[in-house]
Structure 1
């Protein structure tokens, strides 16, 4: 028989548990925050933005392991911000099983993103669901081809000041602007994504990475109307592996040098990728008349080009203002084991700056066959290039 002291201790513990549940507290492990419990309405007709924000706020403020659950169904959302920092040191899981659809009203978006992650340290987005921005309803308002000062439509996912994040096994469809924009972030791992928009859709980059360190993207299929992945200023230690790209504009470093005092790009590896029917293959593009900066330490290897218009291209005269040369210095670039077919007789086009010529560009085992009757060629301007192994087209 229990002593009076033991009985008292058990009663105290039971009393604490009852009072905790009465106060709405949950156990510290594996707590699920279901958006349906916060007023989300599946069906795609009633907007559920505030329900999602409330569910995230509780998950973010929970001190233990938390999961934000979005069950099967269609949910209509306007501008939605998942704001950090959060209390727990354990990454929050966003389990997306349903489909998110955007409100198709440009005036509903005041920021750079439709769904934003801001100052979050530790988050995983997964679940096999779909994020559909319904961009086709707003692309008519994109005037960036004719207006250099245009305001971009919001990105489907906009991540800023995010650390230790994983995004995997979801589908992104028909973004308004970029499908994903990652900036000022650290240690981001992305894989097993499907990103899709029509070839004619404007500025629907699959992913744009800027001012970020330690971003890895792998095993994804990207079909858009612009760059599959673009690496912007200030990006370091970025790895792209097993990306299937096309249609679109290819994989690009840049545009660099558009704005004053941009950060350097350094430490890029692009490997085991396949580009199908893209405008460009591997492209480095910098604006003429830019401020000084650097793009260096880049390796492009084991890449297949299938009917690509410009397989290997450096363009340092990008943009409309070509009165002064670009001051973005490109150096230490390796192209290795690049093979396939080109739609242009100029399969390698290295057009570098006269002010800061490209330094230490190396091509090893290049085998690009032209689909046509003209002789396949290379062009090099203001570039110091080294060659080894097979070279088709022949060196400059």
Structure 2
């Protein structure tokens, strides 16, 4: 077969990774236009993974159907990339994916890059119709495939790609260390339930930057046992905002430590920046969480600590949350609220929030005066405060 000519993206990547080998899925039997490429992609991955040189798995320009794929390490290659220059399209049926509920699962790999300016289309419309009636009001969503499941990885880079119309989450990462997500475009309709942009759990040192999220659920959500998350220069909306939690639902959860959300914009989202813990929760802790220089445009509950979280009802609201929250700051947050309550600090009666700082807040409600609700917290205030302070 004639040697394929590399485009500028691959050429530049090869310059960065000296002596990189390219494993084009076309050379492993893939064909654009409808045939499933799962086997070809898996075989190209196996060849790249076992190479002794830095390797690139190439999905060239064109439209390719992918049923599902599980890409497993560890790899001999010191660095490995999946470079998609085309459009990879899932099967539309909600039950099309069988293995571990991930459309594309990658596990046990070090120094992985996912890039290439391509599109991953989860074709989620049929799945959303089965979740729409109950998913937003309960936690019992049908478990449909996530676009990407990224697990047990070290030194991960995901950049310059589009994740579109996932059946469920776009990216779910767990047990990942040192990850960067940059220049992503994540899109799903506002009425697509459970389509979180990126969910992070049990991970360390994760950066998300220079990216756009338009989803039917959280743009970014952060679960337990997570440390060192830096979210900066992102746009979020529509969607449910940026959330830490919910925490405290399960036994033996581990703390969240160190989250920074800065220099970002939220527009037409259901919530703004939110920390949520279950009412009558299991014990846990979350600390060192900071939100700074954030623009809100028509956002519901722009600043929200909710330690009475219970979306489906049935919780014992007389038993306060046992999640301890501390070292929290909200600074330089401005714009408009779509709800009367612009700042909502509802902390636990058993473990009041500790070390809360609020500075230079300017949030207006178009329907009248914005409100500030505060219970079981004693924030330290600085600079401008709009809405007016109301703490007890």
Instruction: Tell me the TM-score normalized by structure 2.
Output: 0.91
Q: CA RMSD in A?
A: 1.3
Q: Distance in 2 between matches of 1:371 and 1:213?
A: 40
Q: Distance in 2 between matches of 1:149 and 1:371?
A: 35
Distance 1:179 1:61, change over 3 A: same
- Which residue in the other structure is 1:40 paired with? 30
Secondary structure at the residue paired with 2:302? strand
- For residue 271 of structure 1, the aligned residue among 243, 262, 271 is 262
Residue 326 (structure 2) pairs with residue 326 (structure 1): no
- Which residue in the other structure is 1:285 paired with? 276
- For residue 335 of structure 2, the aligned residue among 327, 340, 344 is 340
- Which residue in the other structure is 1:5 paired with? none
**CA contact 2:141–2:194 (8 Å) conserved in 1:** no
Secondary structure at the residue paired with 2:168? coil
Higher Cα radius of gyration: 1
Q: Distance in 2 between matches of 1:146 and 1:221?
A: 26
- Which residue in the other structure is 2:356 paired with? 361
Q: Deviation digits for residues 176-203 of structure 1, max 9, x if unmatched? A: 1001101111000011001010000000
Distance 1:147 1:348, change over 3 A: closer
- Which residue in the other structure is 2:202 paired with? 211
Question: How much has 1:107 moved relative to structure 2?
Answer: 2.9
- Which residue in the other structure is 1:385 paired with? 379
Question: How much has 1:124 moved relative to structure 2?
Answer: 0.8
Q: Distance in 2 between matches of 1:391 and 1:35?
A: 57
Residue 112 (structure 2) pairs with residue 123 (structure 1): yes
Secondary structure at the residue paired with 2:113? strand
Q: Distance in 2 between matches of 1:249 and 1:228?
A: 7
Q: Distance in 2 between matches of 1:359 and 1:336?
A: 16
- For residue 135 of structure 1, the aligned residue among 108, 124, 129 is 124
Residue 91 (structure 2) pairs with residue 103 (structure 1): yes
Secondary structure at the residue paired with 1:225? coil
Q: Distance in 1 between matches of 2:117 and 2:163?
A: 11
- Which residue in the other structure is 1:196 paired with? 187
Q: Distance in 2 between matches of 1:201 and 1:187?
A: 30
Distance 1:88 1:35, change over 3 A: same
Q: Deviation digits for residues 304-348 of structure 1, max 9, x if unmatched? A: 001111100011111234312211111110101111111122110
Q: Distance in 1 between matches of 2:138 and 2:217?
A: 17
Q: Deviation digits for residues 320-377 of structure 1, max 9, x if unmatched? A: 343122111111101011111111221100111111111111101101111123x222
Q: Distance in 2 between matches of 1:261 and 1:189?
A: 28
Question: How much has 1:146 moved relative to structure 2?
Answer: 6.0
Q: Deviation digits for residues 153-182 of structure 1, max 9, x if unmatched? A: 121011010110101100111001001101
**CA contact 1:255–1:286 (8 Å) conserved in 2:** yes
Q: Distance in 2 between matches of 1:148 and 1:348?
A: 25
**CA contact 2:221–2:243 (8 Å) conserved in 1:** yes
5+ residue gaps in structure 2? 1-17
Question: How much has 1:106 moved relative to structure 2?
Answer: 3.0
- Which residue in the other structure is 1:175 paired with? 166
Question: How much has 1:151 moved relative to structure 2?
Answer: 4.2
Secondary structure at the residue paired with 2:129? helix
